[in-house]
Amino acid sequence: MNKIKSYFLFSREHRSGIFLLFGIIVFVQLSYFFLKNQLVSNENHTEDKAWLLVQNEIDSLKHIQATKKDTIYPFNPNYITDYKGYKLGMSIQEIDRLHAYRKKGKFVNSAKEFQEITQVSNAFLSKVSPYFKFPDWVKNKGAATSEKFPKYLAKEKEKIVQKDINFASREDLIAVYGIGEKLADKILLEKEKLGGFVSMEQFQFIWGISPEAIADLEKRFAVKNSIGIKKIAINDLSQKELAKFPYFNYSIAKEIIIYRTMNNGIKNVDDLTKIKGMPNEKIKIIALYLNF
């Protein structure tokens, strides 16, 4: 019993050592507690700061989107495409009325005439008409002599037999108003790359051809034969092969591969519009070169 009791009897040095050890333990625990809280606080502060920066960026993008206005550049309303009309805010019926009028070989020569043909609202006309850009001969036709009118209008009464654009020679193209040797070579090179043209609308996307030249082209030529046009199998070709198609590039080809993989293939034109980067203003033309 005395032996056991001796274990619980401490000298002054022992008691001092025990209290010192106890004090060290308490100090370490408190230090750990405060240091941990400080680290958590700093981490939270860093996260809050990072999130605040992200939120500020989001708010900034929202503000830009809310205040963003589409820039409208001067254009000839006679050559409004489906995509251009849609971007301007025209209805399908209004666009179709304009296209039906143009198919007759007629031109809109004023904002008032544009409204009469398309039946757009006064509000729409007042918004877009300041950007209408008609040829100089239209503006000056009241005082113009016959010599001042473009060649293709002076020959308007001439009986023109339309040729197939895919069989047009270099000389045939040079005879078109506004097309010289360089543009004729450019058109022939484009035809060679595509295997042939599928629509006269394609000339709107060849840089350097003026609206007046396009009008004369449409009078002299039409797409009558699609022999030689090689359609591409959009669901079978590799990315490298797709990128060779003139209306695609490497980036679009990559998006095509991704879309068709995730959606069990591309089935129709509507699917094309869902592909990132696809030039929607050319989509009707592109579709004519594809096999789905």
Q: Does the residue 182 lie in any domain?
A: no
Please indicate whether residue 146 or residue 53 has the higher confidence score (pLDDT).
53
Q: Does the residue 223 lie in any domain?
A: no
Please indicate whether residue 228 or residue 196 has the higher confidence score (pLDDT).
196
Q: Give per-residue pLDDT as tens, 17-62.
A: 777 787 888 888 887 777 777 665 665 566 666 666 656 666 666 6
Q: Does the residue 262 lie in any domain?
A: yes
- pLDDT of res. 48: 61
Q: φ, ψ for residue 164 (rounded to 5)? A: -75, 120
CA–CA distance, 31 with 94 (Å, rounded to integer): 77
Q: Is the pLDDT of residue 168 over 50?
A: yes
Q: Give per-residue pLDDT as tens, 173-202.
A: 999 988 999 999 999 999 999 989 999 999
Among 52, 67, 82, the domain boundary falls at 67
Handedness of CA 49, 52, 58, 64 (dihedral sign): negative
Q: Which domain holds residue 271?
A: 232-291
CA–CA distance, 209 with 202 (Å, rounded to integer): 11
Among 41, 67, 93, the domain boundary falls at 67
- pLDDT of res. 249: 92
- Classified as helix, coil or strand, 169 is coil
Same domain, 25 and 76: no
Same domain, 51 and 89: no
- Highest average pLDDT, of 70-79, 80-89, 146-155, comes from 80-89
Among 12, 37, 67, the domain boundary falls at 67
Taking residues 237-242, report their average pLDDT: 92
Average pLDDT, rounded, for the chain: 80
Q: Does the residue 38 lie in any domain?
A: yes
CA angle in degrees (0–180, nearest 5) for 111-114-115: 90
- pLDDT of res. 140: 58
Please indicate whether residue 13 or residue 114 has the higher confidence score (pLDDT).
114
For 224, half-sphere exposure in the C-beta direction (CA atoms, 13 angstrom radius) is: 11
Q: Does the residue 174 lie in any domain?
A: no
In sequence order, what are the beta bridge partners of 164? 222
Q: Does the residue 173 lie in any domain?
A: no
CATH number of the domain at 245, please: 1.10.150
- pLDDT of res. 31: 79
CB atoms within 10 A of CB 193: 11
Taking residues 77-105, report their average pLDDT: 86
CA–CA distance, 188 with 172 (Å, rounded to integer): 11
CB atoms within 10 A of CB 134: 19
Same domain, 96 and 60: no
Residue of 286, 225, 282, 236 whose CA lies nearest to 261: 236
- pLDDT of res. 113: 92
In sequence order, what are the beta bridge partners of 232? 290
Q: Give per-residue pLDDT as tens, 98-128.
A: 988 988 878 888 899 999 999 999 999 999 9
Q: Does the residue 12 lie in any domain?
A: yes
Which range (2-16, 80-94, 235-249) has the least confidence? Answer: 2-16
Q: Which regions of 100-170 does DSSP assign to beta strands (E)?
A: 163-164
pLDDT band for position 146 (cuts 50, 70, 90): very low
Same domain, 62 and 75: no
- pLDDT of res. 40: 59
Q: φ, ψ for residue 93 (rounded to 5)? A: -65, -40
Residue 273 CB partners (closer than 8 Å, separation 6+): 280, 283
CB atoms within 10 A of CB 141: 14
Q: φ, ψ for residue 223 (rounded to 5)? A: -90, 105
Taking residues 272-288, report their average pLDDT: 90
Q: How many angstroms separate the most distant Cα atoms in the chain?
A: 138
- Cα of 241 vs its chain's centroid, Å: 22
Q: Does the residue 219 lie in any domain?
A: no
Handedness of CA 173, 174, 175, 176 (dihedral sign): positive
Same domain, 76 and 111: yes
Which range (56-70, 135-149, 227-241) has the least confidence? Answer: 135-149
Q: What is the pTM of this model?
A: 0.49
CA–CA distance, 163 with 217 (Å, rounded to integer): 10
Report the number of distinct structural domains present in the chain: 3
Tokens describing residue 160: 């023109």
Identify whether the C-beta of residue 96 lies closer than 8 Å to the C-beta of residue 154.
no
